[in-house]
Amino acid sequence: MGSITREDEKSTTKQDVITFGAGPSKVPRVVLERIQKGFSNCADSGISVIEVGHRTKEFVDIMKSCEARIRRLLSVPSNYRVLFLQGGAQAQFDAIPMNLMGNQGVNQADYLVTGAWSLKALKEAKKYGTIREVCPQVPGFSCIPDQSAMQYDPCAAYFYYCDNETMNGVEFDWIPGLREGQVPIVCDMCSNLLTRPIDVSRYGVIFAGSQKTMGCAGLTLVIIREDLVGGELAITPSILNYRMQVAAGSILNTPPTFTAFAVNEALRWVEEEGGIEEMQKRTQEKCDAIYSFIDRSEDFYHCHVPKAYRSRVNIVLRLPSEDLEKLWLAEARRHGLIGLEGHRTVGGVRISLYNGITMDDVKRLLDFMETFMNAHR
């Protein structure tokens, strides 16, 4: 998608543009200003953050600060390790089976597929061992199967699921898996981490890319229970080896230094704004306002996901026709509302409500949606 020009915007200025993109996503203005300052002078070092050596005290302090903030925000127990890795969250689709299937010689894992991302993870994992789905996939991924439909293997190396499916607009409000805790739960929280409190102790591994709720693209957060570190398969590359990354403090090789700086500033902002509880409150207020409007629109705007399974952070919807959707997206863009296209594989409209989106942003979007609806019924 190209940049917006003044000709495209007409009466809209650059400052008026709001991105509702699914990631990378909107970053709070104060965070952008702090990043801008660090770009020219990082931690009063006299050099840019992109010039700071990755083994200098300045950068090591940034990495330590990122970890400390994550531990505070998520109340991470002391027996968990916090890593910041490269390769995007998709690299974890391979890293997880390679690191966990060697534990105690168990070469089998359970997967719950509820959307496009968990399906991708399943396909990657099949390269490393026996992968079993705990229940049949729902056609169209429009809802989440009931827990009673899931058959777990108590001897599996781990159980894997995705907490929020960005393409399909479904989100868990409960934790699947065996309650006894004998099978580690691995969870993809790329799109909803830091939007509500979580009990980290319920999980074996949590991972999330940084481009949605932690600043900008380039790092992947991995939180792993320490007893799960060290059982990797022999084929595991060093860069994806949790044991080696823990020993190296996430600096096994040169990390994306700028991204680490941006992530630290984004986490700082979450703390200053009131932490996870405040983010949860804001997220609920934003999604409630949009879903309420959709449901009152008499199917001009239609969300196919049943209310019980609707994502708080990725709202998917359709208009009466594809032609009208194209017009809607073009008009939205002209009004400075961008990043609203549905994923290329599913089409439609997608509204992403990560922490950087404000209630004022939502109100402006709703005003546009109402005006467009009244003009095109």
Q: Would you please indicate which residues are annotated as catalytic (active-site) residues?
A: 117, 188, 212
Rounded (5°) CA angle 369-171-31: 65
- Report the alpha-carbon distance of residue 336 to residue 13 in Å, rounded: 8
Nearest Cα to Cα of residue 64 among 298, 318, 362, 263: 263
Q: Is 219 exposed, middle or buried (0-12, 13-18, 19+ CB in 10 A)?
A: buried
List C-alpha distances in Å: 17 to 5, 154, 215, 340.
11, 50, 18, 12
What's the CA dihedral at 118, 77, 153, 101 to 10 degrees? 70
- Report the alpha-carbon distance of residue 44 to residue 58 in Å, rounded: 10
Is the alpha carbon torsion for 222, 227, 233, 235 positive or negative? positive
Contacts 24+ apart (CB under 8 A), 271-276: 271/69, 271/72, 271/73, 275/73, 276/73, 276/74, 276/194, 276/195, 276/196, 276/197
Q: Strands (DSSP E) along the chain, which ranges?
A: 18-19, 80-85, 108-111, 130-133, 159-162, 164-165, 170-171, 185-188, 205-209, 220-225, 314-317, 337-338, 349-352
- Report the alpha-carbon distance of residue 186 to residue 163 in Å, rounded: 10
Q: What residues are paired with 185 via a beta bridge?
A: 159
